Chains A and B, each alone.
Chain A
Amino acid sequence: MGSTNDKEIVISVCTGTGGIAAGAFKVIDAFEEALEEHGLKAKFKSRTHKVGCRGFCAKDVLVDVAVGEDVVTYEFVTPEKAKAIVEKHLVGGEPVKKWLVKDDYHAFHTKQQRVVLHNCGRIDPESIDEYIATGGYKAARKAIFEMEPEEIIQEIKNSGLRGRGGGGFPTGIKWESCRRAAGTIKYVLCNADEGDPGAFMDRSIIEGNPHAVIEGMIIGAYAIGSHEGFVYIRAEYPLAVDRLRLALDQARERNFLGKNIFGSDFDFDIEIKLGAGAFVCGESTALMTSIEDKPGLPRPKYVHTTDKGLWGRPSNLNNVETWANVPLIIDRGADWYASIGSEQSKGTKIFSLVGKIKNTGLVEVPMGIPLKEIIFDIGGGIPKKKKFKAVQTGGPSGGCIPASLLDLPVDFENLSKAGSIMGSGGMIVMDEDTCMVDVAKYFVQFCVDEGCGQCTPCREGLYHMVKLLTDITEGRGTEEHIKLLEELSEVIIDTSLCGLGKTAPNPVLSTLRYFRDEYEAHIFDKKCPAGVCRELTTFVIDEKKCTGCTMCARNCPVGAITGEKKEPHLIDQSKCIKCRMCYEHCKFGAVLKM
């Protein structure tokens, strides 16, 4: 690479929540200090650059070092490493090879199609200029000055964009009915109340590129004829709230929001509304009652919110990701957008890939990509050479998809055919050590805790579902339990008031459909095949495999394991609390789950 000469040096540090948690700010300080120390600041145009989350959170802190045109990426950067990078790479002129990202980083990115997330990780989310420099607010100007509202709606309809919050309702049709609804005051709302366990798509978009959401909302408001917008965002996302607030202020300063935006005769402004952390407030009517400063309870009305929503006025609610798609469609055209994705689901979808997977992070893939490409090519497969068992999509109301359906193309239709839902895009990967009954119990318990408690089926029914599932995992299950679970599921789906209840039995139904044998093993053999349910599992040491390394005995918290060095060990079953520590620590696979 040679010397750095007079090329511009830009050090981009990931400052998403994942990056910050891994110490991004300390890394930035270390870089700044080192640049100063080596006189690079005065000599060259060098600077550190805060960027949003680029998705691969497992490798944080990720740092791009750009010297002129040459860009290399370092993983797991610490302040100490930062100093060394400046010394060896920027002064010495040779990148530090051992700290560079490895093949898995490239594998993680090659199969992705980053459209919505394109700017996340490239631009500083706190700078409106950087967003404008990448073509930002061009689409909003185009919409306001060159297009009629009907044209915009037609364009969105042609693009085939469907709601990314979970329902998958065609966005263009929603906008159209809101535009046609009677009334002069209308609202556009953005749902950033992302509460699914393990989901962080919306959070990363707002943290990494908040202006895209604002621009989408401006276009939507213009198309619908609304002059007021709200972003309902969780207070648990402090960084996202701060960056969104800053972005709104910047947009107002430039007159991109407020009166006569861009100098046109169109007025529009956006207000932030903080959610207090209730999962049910992600439901559209509950979200609206919450914005109205009432308790966030779903409304039982059979009226579309596009006719009567917030304060009884026509309201158009879309998810963060949906709004972030809008500027792209207006900018590049519906045909381009419709060329991505599958027959009925167009465009890309962001998933947060979590659980038992090597490459944890945020991935954006075209709709219709086979599930196994996401999990094995992008995600890198299951760690510790374990076997893949299932993937849970769509958050707590989604279903578990088994290994036999790994070829399933991921889009709205196919997921719902498989008994799951797209949801907002959570993807929790589970390996062979996961008990599916336990998983179902976890998700139903989540809905019990988070349901509003208004309607009988969801409030009482889910509670009894958890009780039945607990019975099964604790060895009290009978055949009757499965029958009751199935009957309850049907009733809850049929009679619940809102979407939360209607989808809450999905984890139970899907696990009953694909992993019935596991339920039966719990009930008839009183065994937990995965060895998770404590009451149904015993740990024993295989005398032949045990080398007597004492690892298990040293890690046993209750001293239940005895044995001499280099002699087979023994677990005292009366003392064992089934904490799995011996199983996790044995390097020879000598601890067996029975």
Chain B
Amino acid sequence: MASTVNIIINGREIQAPEGMTILEVAKKEGIFIPSLCYLDALEPEGTCRLCIVEVSGSLRHSIRVSCIQEVKEGLIVETDTERIKRNRRVLMELLLARTPYSKELLDLARKIGVVTSRFQSEEFDDCVRCGRCVRVCRDQIGAYALCWVNRGYQRTVTTDFDRISEYCIGCGSCVQVCPTGALKMEDRGNERIIYKWGQILARLKLEKCEKCGKPFAPKKYLEHMAKKAYKPRGLQLVEIICPDCARKVERPVPAPEFPVGKMPFGF
């Protein structure tokens, strides 16, 4: 057990394990701090700035992002001061100006008291540039299919040279982690398409299930799964079976505990 530190969040004394971030501790304690770019499976980037808190005590009195600042002995954290709330509201208004139609974002906005934005952008999309998709694709899947391009206000997520990605394995992790529903995945016939506002990012042919003949997963994805799940255990991919059929197959020996590892999700 790691050593613990004593901190105060919103006047409540809390014992927290050393090395944890303020946001992690707050989540554990049931204290709500809004956030967009934070995801516990990913390295925090601290870019959406919604999770700002005021710190004092053992740190100089300042505003910090709670997904990055680690707890420290004697730290005093305020998550809901007027200054923080005002800043958060304006940040949310700024995000809403460009992303006015995302239901997920509107829900979060309502939670922190923002209904409409005083700002207006000229172009709209659903992306809030939190970078979760880029990080999950790069750090967890290792596919490097998504990347950032341009800088400043033009910064956006896309594939290499805006083309249909050659590296995408069609796992859909990016779609799963997107907080605003900007990325979408659809299986159309025997094709899987991953797309965002006005741009197709990936298009992959689906392999058919050897039992029922239903197209269900791209080849690259199956290979990826084989590499991640079977190889470490000395197994090989011999049959391509869809999850529905797989459940029906009787296993002679109960499978050992599945090493999910860092996979965010799977079948």
Q: B151's closest neighbor in chain A, by CB?
A: A453
Q: In the complex, how many angstroms separate the beta carbon of B247 from the nearest chain A beta carbon? A: 43
CB of B64 within 8 A of CB of A302, answer yes
With A484-B118, A495-B63 known as contacts, the answer to whether A457 contacts B153 (CB < 8 A) is no
Chain A neighbourhood of B143, CB < 8 A? none
Q: Is B45 an interface residue (CB 8 A)?
A: yes
CB of A449 within 8 Å of the partner chain? yes
A460:B52 contact, CB within 8 angstroms: no
Residues 420-452 of A contacting B (Cβ, < 8 Å): 448-452
Please tell me if A301 contacts chain B, counting CB pairs below 8 Å.
Answer: yes
CB pair A453 B46 closer than 8 Å: no
Partner of B49, one of A278, A450, A452, A455: A455
Instruction: Determine if B46 and A487 form an interchain contact, defined as CB atoms under 8 angstroms apart.
Output: no
Choose one: A457, A461, A494; the contact of B83 (CB below 8 Å): A494
Which 5 A-B pairs have CB atoms at the shortest separation, nearest pair first?
A: A453-B155, A300-B46, A460-B94, A491-B90, A454-B47
Q: In the bound complex, do residue A456 and residue B47 qualify as a contact, i.e. CB atoms below 8 Å apart?
A: yes
Residues of chain B within 8 A (CB-CB) of A459 are 129, 152-153, 155
Q: Check if A464 is an interface residue, CB within 8 A of chain B.
A: yes
A295 at interface, CB cutoff 8 A: yes
Our pick among B49, B64, B155 for the contact of A457 (Cβ within 8 Å) is: B49
Q: Which residues of A contact B63 (CB under 8 A)?
A: 494-495
A300 to B148, CA, bound (A): 17
User: Given the interface contacts A300-B65, A484-B118, does A452 sit within 8 Å of B151 by beta carbon?
Assistant: yes
What are 22 sample pairs from A and B whose C-beta atoms fall under 8 A apart?
A: A278-B151, A300-B45, A300-B47, A301-B68, A453-B129, A453-B150, A453-B153, A453-B155, A454-B45, A454-B155, A456-B48, A457-B91, A459-B155, A460-B97, A461-B94, A462-B153, A467-B119, A491-B91, A494-B52, A495-B63, A496-B49, A497-B47
A463 and B153 in contact, given A454-B47, A491-B87, A494-B83 (Cβ under 8 angstroms): yes
Residues of chain A with a CB closer than 8 A to B91's CB? 456-457, 491, 495
Contacts of A530 in B (CB 8 A): none
Chain B, residues 54-98, CB within 8 Å of chain A (1/0): the string is: 000000000111001110000000000001001100110011011
Q: Tell me whether A488 is interfacial, beta carbon within 8 Å.
A: yes
- Closest Cβ of chain B: how far from A463's Cβ, in Å? 5
Contact of B46 among A448, A452, A497 (CB under 8 A): A497
**Measured between alpha carbons, how far is A488 from B86 in the docked complex, in Å?**
10
B154 at the interface (CB under 8 A from A): yes
Q: A453-B154, A459-B129 are in contact. List 15 more A-B contacts (CB 8 A).
A: A300-B45, A300-B68, A302-B64, A302-B68, A449-B152, A452-B155, A453-B129, A453-B150, A453-B155, A454-B131, A455-B47, A456-B49, A463-B121, A464-B94, A494-B87
- In the assembled complex, the Cα of A295 lies from the Cα of B63 at a distance in Å of 26
Q: Is the CB of A457 within 8 A of B68?
A: no
Residues of A within 8 A of B153 (CB): 448, 451, 453, 459-460, 462-463
List of A residues within 8 angstroms of B69 by Cβ: 302
Q: Contact at B95–A460, with CB atoms within 8 Å? A: yes
Mark interface residues in A464-505 (1 if CB within 8 Å of B CB, else 0). 100100000000000000001001100100111100000000
Q: Evaluate whether A464 and B87 lie within 8 angstroms (CB atoms) in the complex, with A454-B47, A456-B94, A497-B47 already known.
A: no
Q: How far is the CB of B96 from chain A (nearest CB, A)?
A: 10
CA distance A487 to B121 in the complex (A): 18
B52 to chain A, nearest CB (A): 6
- Give me the interface of B with A, judged by CB distance under 8 Å: 44-50, 52, 63-65, 68-70, 83, 86-87, 90-91, 94-95, 97-98, 118-121, 128-129, 131, 148, 150-155
Complex formed: what's the CA distance from A456 to B121 in Å?
14
Nearest chain B CB to A9 CB, angstrom units: 53
Give the shortest distance, in Å, between B95 (CB) and chain A (any CB).
6
Contacts of B87 in A (CB 8 A): 491, 494-495
For residue B51, give the distance in angstroms from its CB to the closest CB of chain A: 10
**B155: which A residues are within 8 A, CB to CB?**
452-454, 459
- A467 to chain B minimum Cβ distance, whole angstroms, is 8
B residues within 8 A CB of A280? 151
Report the separation of the CA atoms of residues A256 and B237 in the bound assembly, to the nearest whole angstrom: 61
Q: How far is the CA of A457 from the CA of B46 in the complex (A)?
A: 12
In the complex, chain B residues whose CB is within 8 Å of the CB of A452 = 151-152, 155
A505 to chain B, nearest CB (A): 13
Using Cβ atoms and an 8 Å threshold, which residues of chain B touch A462? 153
Which of A295, A301, A495 meets B52, CB within 8 Å? Answer: A495
Inter-chain contacts of A491 with B (CB < 8 A): 86-87, 90-91
Contact B152 A487 (CB under 8 A): no
**Neighbouring B residues of A455 by C-beta, 8 Å:** 46-49
Report how far A295 CA is from B45 CA in the complex, Å: 14
Q: What is the distance, in angstroms, from A493's C-beta to the closest C-beta of chain B?
A: 10
- In the complex, chain B residues whose CB is within 8 Å of the CB of A496: 49
Question: How far apart are the CA atoms of A461 and B65 in the complex, in Å?
Answer: 17
Q: Contacts of A456 on B, CB cut-off 8 Å?
A: 47-50, 91, 94-95, 128-129
- B152–A448 CB distance below 8 A: yes
Chain A residue numbers with a CB within 8 Å of B65 are 300
B178: shortest Cβ distance to chain A, in Å?
A: 16
Bound form: Cα–Cα A448–B151 in Å: 9
**Closest CB in chain A relative to B65 CB, distance in Å:** 7
Please name all residues of chain A whose beta carbon is closer than 8 Å to the beta carbon of B98 when the two chains form the complex.
460
Contact of B90 among A448, A451, A453, A487 (CB under 8 A): A487
A463 nearest CB neighbor, chain B only: B153
Inter-chain CA distance A462–B154, complex, in Å, is: 12
Residues in B with CB closer than 8 Å to A300 are 44-47, 65, 68
Question: In the complex, how many angstroms separate the beta carbon of A506 from the nearest chain B beta carbon?
Answer: 18
A487 CA / B150 CA spacing, docked (Å): 28
- Residue from A280, A455, A488, A497 having most chain B Cβ neighbours under 10 A: A455
Instruction: Note all chain A residues with C-beta closer than 8 A to B50.
Output: 456
| Complex: A212 Cα to B225 Cα, angstroms | 58
Closest to A451 in B: B152
CA gap between A503 and B65 in the complex, in Å? 18
* Separation of A453 and B130 alpha carbons in the complex (Å): 11
With the chains together, A452 CA to B148 CA distance in Å?
11
**B244 CB to nearest A CB, Å:** 42
CB nearest to A465 among chain B residues: B119
Q: In the bound complex, how far is the Cα of B120 from the Cα of A410, in angstroms? A: 40
CB distance from A292 to the nearest CB of B (A): 16
* Cα–Cα, bound, A484→B119 (Å): 9
Alpha-carbon distance A378/B119, docked complex (angstroms): 45
- In the bound complex, residues from chain A placing their C-beta under 8 Å from that of B83 are 494
Docked pose: A278 CA to B150 CA in angstroms: 11
Chain A residue nearest to B69 in the complex (CB)? A302
Q: Which of B49, B119, B129, B148 contacts A495 (CB 8 A)?
A: B49
Q: Looking across the interface, which residue of chain B has its beta carbon closest to that of A454?
A: B47
Chain A residues numbered 132-146 whose CB sits less than 8 Å from any CB in chain B: none
Instruction: Scan A318-340; emit 1 where CB is below 8 A from any B CB, else 0.
Output: 00000000000000000000000
Complex formed: what's the CA distance from A462 to B87 in Å? Answer: 15
Taking the closest CB of chain A, its distance from the CB of B47, in whole angstroms, is 5
Nearest CB on B from A452, distance (A)? 5
Give bound CA distance, A454 to B47, whole Å: 6
- A459, B156: Cα distance in complex, Å: 11
Q: State the Cβ distance, A289 to closest chain B Cβ, in Å.
A: 12
Is A295's CB under 8 angstroms from B148's CB? yes
CA distance A545 to B245 in the complex (A): 95
Instruction: Tell me the bound Cα distance from A4 to B135 in angstroms.
Output: 74
**Per-residue interface assignment for chain A, residues 282 to 300, with 1 indicating a CB less than 8 Å from any chain B CB and 0 otherwise:** 0000000000000100001
The chain B residue with its CB closest to the CB of A296 is: B151
- A451-B151 in contact given A302-B69, A491-B86 (Cβ < 8 Å): yes
Contacts of B97 in A (CB 8 A): 460, 464
